Structure 1
Amino acid sequence: MDARARRSRTKLSAAVLDLAERDGIEAVSMVSIAEAAGVNRSTVYEHAASPLELLRLVLRTELDTIRDRHLTAGAHPDIRTAVRQTTDDVLHHVDSHAAIYSRELGSAESTALHGMLSAHFRESVLRLFQSGAIVPPRIDGIDANLQDETTARFIADGTVGAIDAWLATPPPRDVQTFRHLYASVLPAWWPLS
């Protein structure tokens, strides 16, 4: 991405986050994003096909940055610290966008962000398995890839549900409380439990 595209992405990111927080992503249009960002509508379409796609891109980029900061080999002295720091930073990210996540996760009718979060967490878990940083228990006679995929999806979707429940608590939300509850429902072999 060249410098001009990066500047546009920064403006579009701020605009879609502000509009989604204020109005809900379903009420946001590409025109309103362009106006708020001070760019042409065609510029918005260069980055995403819809407001929801742009919102997911912006939030996923923030989540990817957290993952890269903590789950890269050598980032922390041990996997327990890496997972704890990642969890804490993800919670701070979610809390900083609480108006968006609460609206998009907290409604049975809205699945706008559930899939994005779940896919991000699934990928993170699979990366940890593939790198050998976390080795889940194996069941003889069952394909290891199927076991990894099942476990990753279970942890990912459970994490989204736990975050949704945590977001339903009044601010200020306590990361430590989440971590204790989360660790109590994770498998005993998971480094946060």
Structure 2
Amino acid sequence: MNPDDPRAQRSRSRLRAAILELAAVREPATITMSEIAKLAGVNRATVYQHFPDVDALVTDAMEEAVAQLAQAAARCPADAPRDEVPQPLSKLFRHVAESAGLYRRMLGPQGSPLFAARMRERLTLELADTLRARRRPPGFDEVPPAVHAAYLAGALTGVIAHWVADDPPACADETALAFWRLFRPRP
């Protein structure tokens, strides 16, 4: 299978749309490849040609959202005032709030371990690059940027998972401010 073939691209696009539609209303662990194939209008064998399992498909379908989260987190100015949420962080939490049900299912106990791991990994990479390139908050110079990034990525993923577990989740701006205050403790 040639991934550049327009037919393969259309199939993958339909499969991504189908899994996101199903994952928005059901736990990923309960979704079968047959259901995805039926909703996407493709043969079940086609699903397996592109993805080995539901987790891989979900993770692929959520890649754009994860990229947006990682880029928003990395754009936060480390020296912003403690009581003013940086605009990228506010935007990140609003994005998650708009799709809270999907994130709840993806990061919840029955969610996709592959998705949660990929989210942490992508956040860690983006944050590590940012921490290496820019000045970090005071007091962190002795911590390697990769370790600092992994810590922040795990914390952000954990806060998002905890936050969206409530239905409906608390206000995005309030949660973003709470996270920012954890990130920027009082001197």
| Shorter-chain TM-score above 0.5 | yes
Quickly say closer, same or farther: Cα 1:110–1:41, change in 2 above 3 A: closer
* Match status 1:135 vs 2:136: yes
Q: 1:69: Cα distance to partner?
A: 8.0
How far does residue 121 in structure 1 lie from its aligned partner after superposition? 1.2
1:149 pairs with one of 146, 149, 156? 146
Q: Quote the sequence identity (%).
A: 24
Tell me the distance in 1 between the aligned counterparts of 2:60 and 2:135. 28
Residue pairs, 1:29-48, within 5 angstroms:
29-48=32-51
> Which residue identity is paired with 2:15?
L
Q: 1:169 & 1:106 partners in 2: Cα distance?
A: 11
Q: Does 1:23 align with 2:20?
A: no
Question: Partners of 2:13 and 2:103 in 1: how far apart?
Answer: 20
Q: Is 1:176 aligned with 2:173?
A: yes
For residue 98 of structure 2, what is the aligned residue in structure 1?
A: 96
TM-score (norm 1): 0.74
Number of equivalences = 176
- How far apart are residue 172 of structure 1 and its match? 6.3
Question: Judging changes above 3 Å, is the alpha-carbon distance between structure 1 residues 50 and 86 closer, same or farther for their aligned structure 2 residues?
Answer: farther
| Counterpart among 135, 155, 169 of residue 158 in structure 1 | 155
**For residues 143-180 of structure 1, what are the alpha-carbon distances to aligned partners after superposition, in whole Å with 9 as ceiling and x for unaligned?**
x7xx1221111101100111122213443642210121
2:89 to 84, 87, 90: 87
Distance 1:4 1:177, change over 3 A: same
Q: 1:123 aligns with which of 117, 125, 132?
A: 125
2:159 maps to amino acid: A
Determine if contact 2:100/2:164 at 8 Å carries over to the other structure. Answer: yes
Q: Which amino acid aligns with 2:173?
A: Q
- Contact (CA 8 Å) 1:30, 1:44: kept in 2 or not? yes
1:39–1:85 CA distance, 2 compared to 1 (3 A): farther
SS in 2 for 1:118: helix
The AA in structure 1 aligned to 2:6 is A
Greater relative CO (CA pairs within 8 A, separation 6+): 2
Distance (whole Å) between structure 2 residues aligned to residue 183 and residue 70 of structure 1: 11
CA distance in 2, matches of 1:149, 1:70: 15
TM-score (norm 2): 0.76
SS in 2 for 1:22: coil
Corresponding position: 1:50 with 2:47: no
